[in-house]
């Protein structure tokens, strides 16, 4: 299944790839040249389709479980200051998404969206320490029923130039639900209460919407 964010890009890609093929055939290019271009065009189209894939995920979560909001590699686990919303220390887990990962962002918990804010910014590489505060980004906070609040921050990378968000304050969410999308290499930070139990480690490759990466304590 393909993600809705890819509709325009896929259509434009098809048009762009079709033009050289039409020119080659109209100009009477050799069969080998036409075949070689078709092979190249199919590879390029395959890469575009691969990027916008949206596989079905089965989310199984118990009370207090925090599910990975994105596919990728865990690159940060630390206590960090979160000045925008919590204005204090939280446990931070960061997942880096390469261009080859699925770029759908999913709700890590069930609850209610209580905060959503977009920030313009730079396009530092997604693993840069300052990308969390200086890059283009969107912050989302979800309030759970009995386990406090969880924040995710969608961060655009050096290549990514568009962050899509599908939720707004007051809107309920279900764990594993599609809440956003970031194009072409990016990062998602998750901020948890200090007493949360982290269940992942640096280098892990969680599956968005499926892998339990932390567990929250009841209020």
Instruction: Please identify every residue annotated as catalytic.
Output: 186
Greatest Cα pair distance in the chain: 73
Q: Using alpha carbons only, what angle is made at residue 136 by residues 210 and 54, rounded to the nearest 5 degrees?
A: 30
Reference 84, options 109, 110, 125, 118; nearest CA is 118
Angle among Cα 55, 60, 66 to the nearest 5 degrees reads: 95
In whole angstroms, what is the distance from residue 85 CA to residue 77 CA?
19
Rounded to the nearest 10 degrees, the angle between the axes of helix 7-26 and helix 31-51 is 180
């Amino acid at each position: 299944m393909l993600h809705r964010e890819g509709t325009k890009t896929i259509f434009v890609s098809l048009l762009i790839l079709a033009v050289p093929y039409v020119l080659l055939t109209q100009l009477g290019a050799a069969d080998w040249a036409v075949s070689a271009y078709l092979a190249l065009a199919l590879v390029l189209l395959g890469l575009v389709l691969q990027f916008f894939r949206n596989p079905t995920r089965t989310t199984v979560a118990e009370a207090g479980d925090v599910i990975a909001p994105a596919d990728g590699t865990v690159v940060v686990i630390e206590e960090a200051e979160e000045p925008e919303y919590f204005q204090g220390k939280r446990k931070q887990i960061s997942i880096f998404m390469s261009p080859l990962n699925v770029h759908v962002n999913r709700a890590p918990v069930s609850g209610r969206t209580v905060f959503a804010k977009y920030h313009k910014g730079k396009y530092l590489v997604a693993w840069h320490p300052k990308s969390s505060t200086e890059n283009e980004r969107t912050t989302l906070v979800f309030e759970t029923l009995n386990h406090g609040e969880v924040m995710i921050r969608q961060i655009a990378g050096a290549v990514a130039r568009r962050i899509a968000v599908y939720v707004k304050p007051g809107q309920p969410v279900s764990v594993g639900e599609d809440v956003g999308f970031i194009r072409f290499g990016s990062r998602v930070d998750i901020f948890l209460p200090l007493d949360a139990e982290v269940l992942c480690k640096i280098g892990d490759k969680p599956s968005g919407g499926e892998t339990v990466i932390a567990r929250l304590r009841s209020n």
